Amino acid sequence: MAIIKPFRGVRYNTARIKEMSTVVSQPYDRITDELQHQYYDLNPYNIAHIIRVRAHGSSSLPNSNGHDVYERSKAYYRKWLDEGILIREEQPTLYAYQQTFSIGDRQYVRMGMIAAIRLTSYDEGIILPHERTHKGPREDRLKLLSAVEANTGQIFILYPDSENKVNALLRQAIGQRAPDIDVIETFENTVQQRVWIINDPGIIQAIQQHMAPMRNLIIADGHHRYSTSLAYRDMQRQAHPDAPPDAAFNYVQTTLVSMNDPGLVVLPTHREITNFTAISPQDVLDRARKYFDVRPVSNLDACLDEVNGHVNGHTFGFYGGPDTGYHVLTLTDNTLADTLIDDNHSREWKSLTVSILHKILLEQIAGVPVEGVEDKTMIRYHRDPQIPVQNVDQGAGNFVFFVRATRMDNIKACAAHGERMPQKSTDFYPKVISGLTVMPLSADERL
């Protein structure tokens, strides 16, 4: 069963924080060093001070060691609670979370729900991953979670609801009333973020009953944090064997979005190869002709139009600099993906755009070392296709592959097979921002 519960969330006190835009942030893994500085300069109470605390700084915080970033995160959190910067809900609450944004000329509205969802292992088939995780981020998030004893952001999970009945219940609950939080985050500053408190017992019970029989919920963003929460739960169970099932550490704070929400958007993530000179861009194209039809196109827009126009995702864009120009590469035979990729994966996994890109174009044709991709020393990932082009033109990159976005049915198929897609296979837009709600997880917390 997919068990969700309301919780007594912690939020910024709007009587103390007049401009919410100065305290919210992107999820921790989207915060670059430059963006971290921007958040720190915006407000001394920005959530980035907790979720991505600087390695060096003042040790004047109470009960903190200035050299331990996780203890400093804990000190910030407790200090802000003591000062009334953060306040706690008086009763258990669900939150309707609406994001309004535009892509091109089209406006989207994505409705989500912030709730506590019971943690389940992947083999139970209730909550499934779709991407791999890495050891470093898992260890980092576990140290932060163990220190702060709270979920300082939400992971993002998709649930099957073909008729969007949960959305209907959420909209019924919020009616025409003004949101309790209405904010635009600095980085994704074209996205309106609105949150409504929902504590109507009837609505909450109806949502819980509708969600309960669901299976095959898919983690969209937050794989590392979900894995971390499972590890934290197991640690707490061992330390507190008599804790009841409703102990908060058995749950994780989540934004849940219907797979059929009309505002659910997945963007492509383009690959820039850097620090790799073993092959020239022209040689990449020459070698690719063994399996791909290779055609030159006039510019970036024409390249992207061709890539996005092929529904099966077996067409790629390529840019190797002004001398090489833009090209479109289309797999000449769709069965090649199944034969050239010898990994023990399903046909659906092998036919993924990113699988063909990594396993055939990067590894077999370009010869990019797998370890250079794994540790990111030879690859950069980009949402904006203009940035890698500029990098190549300036000599900071070697060549670029452009891809189309992964489709939702691809994600469902791989998750159903229990397979993890390559890293950065999906970019769900917009991100679920941090600083809206915090979910306490101390050993005595109950839901």
Q: How confident is the model at residue 137 (pLDDT cuts 50, 70, 90)?
A: confident
Q: 267-283: string of b/e by CB count within 10 Å (b at 16+)?
A: bbbbbbbbebeebebee
* pLDDT tens column, 340-365: 998 888 998 999 999 999 999 999 99
Reduced to 3 states (helix: H, G, I; strand: E, B; else coil), residue 261 is: coil
Q: How confident is the model at residue 64 (pLDDT cuts 50, 70, 90)?
A: very low
> Measured between alpha carbons, how far is 70 from 336 in angstroms, rounded to an integer?
48
Considering the domain boundaries, does residue 420 fall inside one?
no
Q: How confident is the model at residue 209 (pLDDT cuts 50, 70, 90)?
A: very high
Nearest to 286 by CA among 366, 359, 341, 360: 366
| Range in 61-65, 269-273, 319-323 the model is least confident about | 61-65
Q: How confident is the model at residue 424 (pLDDT cuts 50, 70, 90)?
A: confident
Percent of the chain with pLDDT over 90: 82
What average pLDDT score do residues 234-240 get?
97
| 246 & 189 share domain | yes
Instruction: Count other Cβ atoms within 10 Å, centred on residue 298.
Output: 9
| 259 & 125 share domain | yes
CA angle 383, 388, 393 (to 5 degrees): 160
In the prediction, which pLDDT does 423 show?
79
In the prediction, which pLDDT does 285 show?
98
| 260 & 273 share domain | no
Output helix, strand, coil percentages for the chain, rounded to the nearest 5: 35, 25, 40
In the prediction, which pLDDT does 56 show?
52
In the prediction, which pLDDT does 65 show?
47
DSSP letter at 434 equals: B
CA angle 197, 97, 199 (to 5 degrees): 20
Contact 386/393 with Cβ under 8 angstroms?
no
Q: Is the dihedral of CA 432, 436, 439, 440 positive or negative?
A: positive
> Measured between alpha carbons, how far is 309 from 294 in angstroms, rounded to an integer?
16
In the prediction, which pLDDT does 210 show?
97
Give the count of domains, the chain: 2
- pLDDT(59) > 80: no
Q: How confident is the model at residue 421 (pLDDT cuts 50, 70, 90)?
A: confident
Instruction: Give the number of residues written for the chain.
Output: 447
Considering the domain boundaries, does residue 47 fall inside one?
no
Nearest to 2 by CA among 142, 128, 173: 128
| 338 & 389 share domain | yes
Percent of the chain with pLDDT over 70: 96
CA angle 287, 290, 296 (to 5 degrees): 70
In the prediction, which pLDDT does 66 show?
44
Considering the domain boundaries, does residue 38 fall inside one?
no
CATH code for the domain in which residue 338 is found: 3.30.1760
Q: How confident is the model at residue 307 (pLDDT cuts 50, 70, 90)?
A: very high
Q: Is the dihedral of CA 302, 305, 306, 307 positive or negative?
A: positive
Q: How confident is the model at residue 55 (pLDDT cuts 50, 70, 90)?
A: low
Contact 144/72 with Cβ under 8 angstroms?
no
| 347 & 366 share domain | yes
* pLDDT tens column, 394-414: 999 999 999 999 988 888 888
Contact 281/290 with Cβ under 8 angstroms?
no
| Range in 266-270, 364-368, 418-422 the model is least confident about | 418-422
| 284 & 261 share domain | no
Contact 264/407 with Cβ under 8 angstroms?
no
Q: What token pair was written down for 175? A: 């009616």
| 275 & 255 share domain | no
In the prediction, which pLDDT does 108 show?
97
Considering the domain boundaries, does residue 370 fall inside one?
yes
In the prediction, which pLDDT does 138 show?
85
Considering the domain boundaries, does residue 22 fall inside one?
no
Contact 408/130 with Cβ under 8 angstroms?
no
In the prediction, which pLDDT does 60 show?
45
Strands (DSSP E) along 60-167, which ranges? 86-88, 94-103, 106-118, 127-128, 150-151, 155-159
| 258 & 282 share domain | no
Higher confidence at residue 191 or residue 59? 191
- Bond prior to 369 in cis (omega within 30° of 0): no
| 230 & 301 share domain | no
Considering the domain boundaries, does residue 65 fall inside one?
no
Considering the domain boundaries, does residue 446 fall inside one?
no
The residue segments making up the domain with residue 229 are 4-12+72-265+429-440
In the prediction, which pLDDT does 47 show?
97
Contact 442/74 with Cβ under 8 angstroms?
no
Query: pTM score, two decimals?
Result: 0.89
N-term to C-term CA, the chain: 17
Give Cα separations from 85 to 20, 38, 325, 435 (angstroms): 12, 20, 54, 12
| 235 & 376 share domain | no
Mean pLDDT of the chain: 93
| 239 & 308 share domain | no
| 258 & 279 share domain | no
